[in-house]
């Protein structure tokens, strides 16, 4: 855990090596975002990446001309980037003028520029000289100064040829003038936008440097959150491990417990049903005894009447009346034995066994909590040490270098804001000068155009040159004005072209072009050129790091881990070894023995009672009771009453009345049977059917309960210890996996996310766009278009001076005479015949 010995410093001992310490500190953080199957904690989020401004836009005003400028400069400077030559100049700047060989090498490299400069100087020298001689010559009446135009047969053809040649030349000059206006405006726009673009670029760099410490803090916080999450899991170990154990038990324990609860409920229902059935049988027996007493009294009375001497044919009915009875004693000994077995089962207190089993199941989490109390305390102490070490990471990291650079960038931004108004003021002056130059060139173009328009408009080809119109004469004067302005300003403008060519051309060939193709960065990578840029030795790396590699990696938005090859300094696989932090916790887990007291789902007495109930349910015979109830339901005294009524109809009046009364009483007894006995019999039949259904199920229920309870009891007796160990180990593995996942996340963040350095490449590209693409190329486009116009001023001067004489009013007339003499050819005459 001690990493102080791996610290390094920037050259001159300015500050701690920020990036290496950053990675070393981050490697301590155990954080991750893996999706775990166990309850470990919330998934870690990706670290925050800063938002950057859009890339600096290229100025499109000069784009159309740049291929020509680049092609021209490529032709002028054919030599590759002079790495060796610049190194010689940098290493020995005093020998530039004293060393003839070095001076010759520089001149050879710049030979293309020297030739162009020589041409420009020749132009600058000759143009005013030629203008002077032409002016003197014309004043003397030569070089077209004499105001007399010779008239020949080819005059009109020559005028047209000169006219269209000057027209083409003027169009070319106008195109160059338009390019001047556009490039001048492009340069102004570039200067106006440059402060904002530079501020945005510096702001991106500042955001990048500010984001790195924030990303360190984010990953550090994830490490703390990991430790806290594992600590919370340890606090909740009873619930988590206990619930897992409960889930393992539930497969056999819950079905057995539910079966016992169902059997208990069925036994209560059966007991209630048996009690109701016995009560109903007793009530029915009481009702039958009352009916039997009434029938016996009826038999005594009817026998007296039938035995009277006046009773006719009464002997036949006496035997039937004597057999009349409702004596029915219901006997159900198996029912009483069945009820006794069920009552014994209920008295065995099956409910207490259920409560005890539920208590055993529900208190498993609390028992685990009690058993692991010492383990949790020791583990939390170890986690606290880890959290303290993680908390020290931010304190140990010296990020002052980043803050210093950020402060410097802020100062640069302030200076840009301070200097911008002054720069803008000078730019307005430069732009005004550029516009003035463009307008001078445009003045020449306008003079030529006016001459080209007014000359032909007022010219009469057959008119005498001395009598030409004012319009034609004005056209010729405009031609001379254009030539005069060209002579007057062209050599001055060429001086500007040469100076801007030297400045802009060399900036393009020595800075911008090698910047674009990567040669400039390779040159800066030259060992010993800039000692402060030798990052490999400064970082203590085995391999050297050059700016080209850094730029390429940053262009691909690679992290600092890859860009700076920090894997050579830090072995993340070793630093992020989870076993360093979890070994002691695992050792404490191994020492902890979590035990659960055994539980008996059913006592032996309850099991015996269940077996008795099953046996009695099997032996219970409801057919005999049902048959007795059916016999009672078949009692019908009305048939005997009908016979008595029939017999009474044949008897004397006294006996007849007695028999009628007895028949009525017999019917009343039958009515009492139907209203009292039959409903009770129906209820008993319904209860017997319910009892038969319950009895049919209870035997299977008892067998199922005994089977499930036996399986559950065997499972608990043989697997409880192993389940507890397995789930405890699973919980430990979950926490270790949690650390491992966060360690993997930390590795990914360090190697792929922290310090994505695309803003560095964007800053270089932005500087390239601002300096080269927008400003240098606009400047080159301006001098190229201006030089273009200056070169075509030469044919413009010649053509306009020659063409002016065809439109100006001459002082002297030149008569055109036809030298061809036309002879008369006589016609042939025929001789008379």
Chain mean pLDDT for the chain = 74
In the block, residue with structure tokens 């006219």: 163
> At 795, which helix (H) or strand (E)?
helix 777-804
Pick the CATH number of 250-351+601-720 from 1.10.3470, 2.50.20, 3.90.930, 1.20.58: 1.20.58
pTM: predicted TM-score of the whole model, two decimal places = 0.63
Lowest-confidence segment of 22-26, 67-71, 159-163 by average pLDDT: 22-26
Helix residue spans in 620-652 (DSSP H)? 622-633, 638-648
Contacts of 424 (CB under 8 A, 6+ apart): 191, 192
Lowest-confidence segment of 309-313, 361-365, 387-391, 544-548 by average pLDDT: 387-391
Whole-number Å distance between alpha carbons of 559 and 114: 47
Integer distance in angstroms from the first to the last C-alpha of the chain? 148
Lowest-confidence segment of 230-239, 419-428, 532-541, 685-694 by average pLDDT: 532-541
Tell whether the model's pLDDT for residue 770 goes beyond 60: yes
**Domain extents in the chain:** 250-351+601-720
Please give the structure tokens belonging to residue 509.
């060939």
Q: Is 16 helix (H, G, I), strand (E, B) or coil?
A: strand
**Which DSSP symbol is given to 47?**
P
On whether the CB atoms of residues 462 and 504 are closer than 8 A, the answer is no
The percent of residues above 70 in pLDDT, for the chain, comes to 71
pLDDT, one tens digit per residue, over 208-234 is: 888 877 777 777 777 777 777 777 777
On whether the CB atoms of residues 734 and 38 are closer than 8 A, the answer is yes
Q: Which of 419, 425, 263 is nearest to 348 (CA)?
A: 263
In the block, residue with structure tokens 């802020």: 410
Q: Is 819 helix (H, G, I), strand (E, B) or coil?
A: coil
Classify residue 633 as exposed, middle or buried by CB count within 10 Å of its CB (0-12, 13-18, 19+): middle
Q: Is 429 helix (H, G, I), strand (E, B) or coil?
A: helix
Whole-number Å distance between alpha carbons of 306 and 669: 20
Q: Which of 22, 42, 371 is nearest to 217 (CA)?
A: 22
Q: Is 605 helix (H, G, I), strand (E, B) or coil?
A: helix
Tell whether the model's pLDDT for residue 204 goes beyond 70: yes
Whole-number Å distance between alpha carbons of 243 and 129: 107
pLDDT, one tens digit per residue, over 585-604 is: 666 666 666 666 566 667 67
Q: What's the pLDDT band for 821 if we cut at 50, 70, 90?
A: very low
Tell whether the model's pLDDT for residue 63 goes beyond 80: no
Q: What's the pLDDT band for 317 if we cut at 50, 70, 90?
A: confident
Q: What's the pLDDT band for 355 if we cut at 50, 70, 90?
A: confident
Other C-beta atoms lying within 10 Å of the C-beta of residue 765: 19
Tell whether the model's pLDDT for residue 7 goes beyond 50: no
Specify the higher pLDDT residue, 240 or 14: 240
Q: What's the pLDDT band for 78 if we cut at 50, 70, 90?
A: confident
On whether the CB atoms of residues 637 and 296 are closer than 8 A, the answer is no
pLDDT for the residue 828: 46
């Amino acid at each position: 855990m001690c990493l102080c010995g791996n610290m390094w410093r920037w050259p001159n001992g300015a500050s701690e090596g920020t990036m290496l310490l950053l990675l070393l500190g981050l490697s301590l953080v155990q954080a991750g975002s893996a999706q775990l199957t166990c309850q470990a904690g919330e998934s870690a989020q990706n670290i925050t990446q800063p938002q950057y401004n859009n890339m600096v836009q290229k100025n499109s005003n000069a784009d159309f001309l740049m291929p020509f400028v680049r092609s021209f400069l490529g032709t002028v400077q054919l030599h590759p980037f002079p790495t060796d030559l610049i190194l010689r100049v940098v290493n020995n700047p005093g020998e530039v003028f004293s060393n003839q060989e070095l001076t010759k090498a520089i001149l050879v490299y710049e030979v293309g520029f020297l030739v162009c400069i020589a041409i420009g100087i020749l132009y600058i020298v000759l143009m005013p000289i030629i203008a002077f001689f032409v002016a003197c010559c014309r004043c003397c009446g030569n070089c077209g100064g004499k105001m007399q135009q010779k008239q020949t047969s080819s005059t009109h053809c020559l005028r047209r040829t000169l006219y269209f040649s000057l027209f083409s030349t003027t169009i070319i000059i106008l195109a160059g003038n338009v390019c001047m206006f556009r490039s001048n405006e492009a340069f102004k726009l570039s200067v106006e936008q440059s402060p904002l673009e530079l501020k945005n670029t510096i702001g991106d760099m500042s955001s990048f440097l500010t984001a790195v410490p924030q990303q360190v803090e984010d990953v550090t916080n994830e490490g703390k959150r990991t430790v806290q999450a594992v600590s919370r899991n340890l606090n909740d170990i009873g619930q988590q491990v206990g619930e897992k154990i409960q889930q393992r038990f539930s497969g056999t324990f819950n079905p057995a417990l539910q079966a016992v609860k169902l059997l208990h409920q069925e036994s209560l229902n059966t007991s209630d049903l048996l009690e109701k059935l016995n009560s109903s049988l007793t009530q029915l027996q009481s009702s039958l005894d009352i009916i039997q007493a009434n029938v016996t009294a009826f038999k005594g009375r009817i026998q007296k009447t039938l035995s009277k001497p006046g009773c006719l044919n009464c002997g036949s009915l006496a035997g039937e009346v004597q057999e009349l009875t409702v004596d029915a004693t219901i006997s159900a000994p198996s029912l009483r034995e069945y009820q006794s077995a069920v009552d014994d089962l209920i008295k065995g207190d099956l409910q207490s066994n259920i409560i005890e089993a539920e208590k055993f199941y529900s208190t498993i989490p609390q028992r685990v909590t009690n058993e692991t109390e010492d383990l949790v305390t020791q583990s939390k102490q170890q986690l606290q040490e880890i959290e303290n070490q993680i908390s020290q990471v931010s304190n140990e990291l010296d990020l002052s270098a980043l803050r210093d650079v950020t402060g410097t960038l802020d100062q640069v931004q302030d200076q840009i804001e301070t200097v911008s108004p002054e720069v803008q003021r000078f730019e307005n002056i430069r732009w005004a000068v550029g516009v003035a130059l463009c307008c001078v060139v445009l003045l020449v173009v306008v003079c030529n155009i006016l001459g080209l328009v007014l000359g032909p408009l007022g010219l009469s080809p057959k008119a005498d040159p001395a009598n030409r119109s004012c319009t034609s004469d004005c056209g010729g004067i405009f031609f001379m004005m254009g030539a005069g302005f060209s002579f007057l300003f062209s050599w001055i403008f060429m001086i500007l072209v040469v100076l801007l060519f030297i400045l802009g051309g060399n900036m393009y060939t020595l800075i911008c072009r090698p910047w674009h193709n990567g040669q400039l960065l390779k040159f800066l990578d030259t060992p010993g050129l800039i000692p402060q840029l030798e990052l490999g030795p400064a970082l203590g790396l085995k391999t050297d790091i050059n700016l080209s590699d850094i730029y390429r990696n940053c262009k691909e938005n690679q992290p600092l881990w890859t860009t700076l090859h920090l894997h050579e300094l830090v072995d993340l696989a070793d630093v992020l070894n989870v076993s360093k932090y979890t070994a002691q916790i695992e050792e404490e887990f191994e020492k902890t023995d979590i035990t659960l007291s055994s539980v008996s789902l059913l006592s032996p007495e309850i099991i015996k009672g269940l077996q008795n109930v099953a046996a009695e349910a099997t032996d219970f015979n409801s057919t005999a009771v049902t048959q007795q109830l059916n016999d009672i339901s078949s009692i019908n005294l009305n048939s005997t009453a009908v016979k008595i009524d029939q017999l009474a109809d044949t008897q004397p009046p006294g006996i007849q009345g007695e028999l009628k009364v007895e028949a009525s009483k017999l019917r009343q007894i039958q009515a009492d049977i139907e209203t009292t006995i039959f409903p009770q019999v129906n209820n008993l039949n319904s209860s017997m059917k319910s009892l038969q259904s319950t009895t049919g199920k209870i035997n299977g229920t008892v067998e199922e309960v005994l089977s499930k309870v036996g399986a559950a009891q065997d499972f608990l007796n043989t697997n409880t210890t192993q389940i507890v160990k397995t789930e405890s180990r699973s919980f430990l593995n979950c926490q270790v996996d949690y650390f491992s996942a966060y360690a993997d996340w930390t590795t990914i963040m360090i190697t792929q996310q922290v310090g994505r350095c695309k803003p560095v490449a964007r800053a270089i590209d932005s500087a390239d766009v601002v300096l080269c693409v927008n400003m240098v190329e606009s400047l080159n486009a301006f001098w190229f278009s201006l030089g273009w116009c200056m070169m075509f001023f030469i044919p413009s001067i010649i053509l306009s001076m020659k063409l002016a004489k065809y439109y100006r009013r001459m002082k002297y007339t030149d008569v055109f005479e036809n030298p061809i003499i036309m002879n008369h050819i006589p016609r042939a005459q025929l001789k008379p015949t």
